[in-house]
């Protein structure tokens, strides 16, 4: 094609205060803290975090730190067919935190042979393009 194929799509979340009311989540990740929002009125702790409580519609929410360790419920190693720009393999896992929250995340910095349903994982910071971050996990050391 003579004209350059326009091929720009940003899959990562917008994280700056001008773009996202939940920007403190990403600031906390940078500080090594995993958080979500807790409703001051009814105590609901939803995942992902919100600007309005999905139970009682209150907008009085506070940031609550979550446990740094959890256990793998199930996982998969994707070896082919990932979108462009993603590593092969990528290990996706559903991770249960002791506070009852379940997250879908990726497992990095770990040996594939150590990754098992029931294994303990710990929170790490994953760096993504344009100085942004996302939570990730590794097998507990």
Partner 1 sequence: MRRVAVVAAGMTRFGVRQATYRDLIQEAGKAAFDSNKNILPKDIDSFILSSVFPERSVFQSHLACLAAESVGVRPHKFFGRVENMCGSGIVGIRTAYAAIVAGLSDLVMVMGAEKMNIPAPEEAVLNMMTGLDREWEGAYGLTAPPMFALAAQAHALKYGTTEEQLSRVSVKNHGHSKNNPFAQFQKGTSMEQVMCSKMIASPLRLFHCSSMSDGAAAVILASEERAKELTDKPIFIIGTGQAAHGYAVANFYRDMSHWPALKEAANDAYAMAGIGPDDIDFAEVHDCFSIAEIIAYEELGFCEKGEGGRFVEQGLSDYGGKVVVNPRGGLIGCGHPLGATGVAHAGEVFLQMRGEAGPRQVPGAKIALSHTNSGPGEHHILIYQKGF
Interface residues with partner 1 (CB under 8 A) are: 1, 5, 7, 9, 11-13, 47-48, 73-86, 90, 92-94, 102-106, 117, 128, 134
CB of 7 to Zn ion, least distance (A): 42
Q: Which two tokens stand for residue 4?
A: 């350059």
Give the position of tokens 């446990």.
Answer: 67
Between CA 33 and CA 48 the distance in angstroms is: 15
Stretch that binds Zn ion, among 57-65, 76-84, 87-95, 122-130 (CB under 5 A): 57-65
Stretch that binds Zn ion, among 6-14, 51-59, 78-86, 112-120 (CB under 5 A): 51-59
Q: Which is nearer to partner 1, 47 or 63 (CB)?
A: 47
Residues 25-44 that bind Zn ion (CB under 5 A): 39, 41-42, 44
Q: Which two tokens stand for residue 23?
A: 């920007």
Between CA 74 and CA 94 the distance in angstroms is: 6
Give the position of tokens 């940003």.
Answer: 10
CB of 55 to Zn ion, least distance (A): 4
CB of 134 to partner 1, least distance (A): 6
Q: Which two tokens stand for residue 79?
A: 């070896």
Between CA 99 and CA 108 the distance in angstroms is: 23
**Beta bridge partners of residue 105, listed in sequence order:** 93
Residues making contact with Zn ion (CB under 5 A)? 39, 41-42, 44, 53, 55-56, 58
């Amino acid at each position: 094609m003579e004209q350059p194929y326009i091929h720009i799509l940003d899959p990562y979340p917008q994280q700056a205060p001008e773009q996202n009311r939940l920007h403190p989540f990403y600031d906390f990740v940078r500080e090594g803290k995993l958080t979500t929002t807790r409703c001051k009125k009814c105590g609901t702790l939803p995942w992902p975090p919100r600007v309005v409580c999905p139970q009682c519609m209150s907008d009085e929410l506070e940031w609550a730190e979550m446990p740094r360790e959890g256990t793998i419920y199930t996982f998969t190693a994707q070896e082919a067919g990932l979108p462009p720009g993603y590593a092969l393999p990528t290990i996706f896992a559903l991770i249960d935190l002791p506070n009852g929250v379940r997250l879908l995340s990726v497992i990095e910095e770990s040996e594939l042979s150590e990754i098992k349903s029931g294994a303990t994982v710990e929170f790490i910071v994953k760096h993504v393009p344009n100085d942004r971050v996302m939570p990730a996990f590794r097998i507990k050391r």
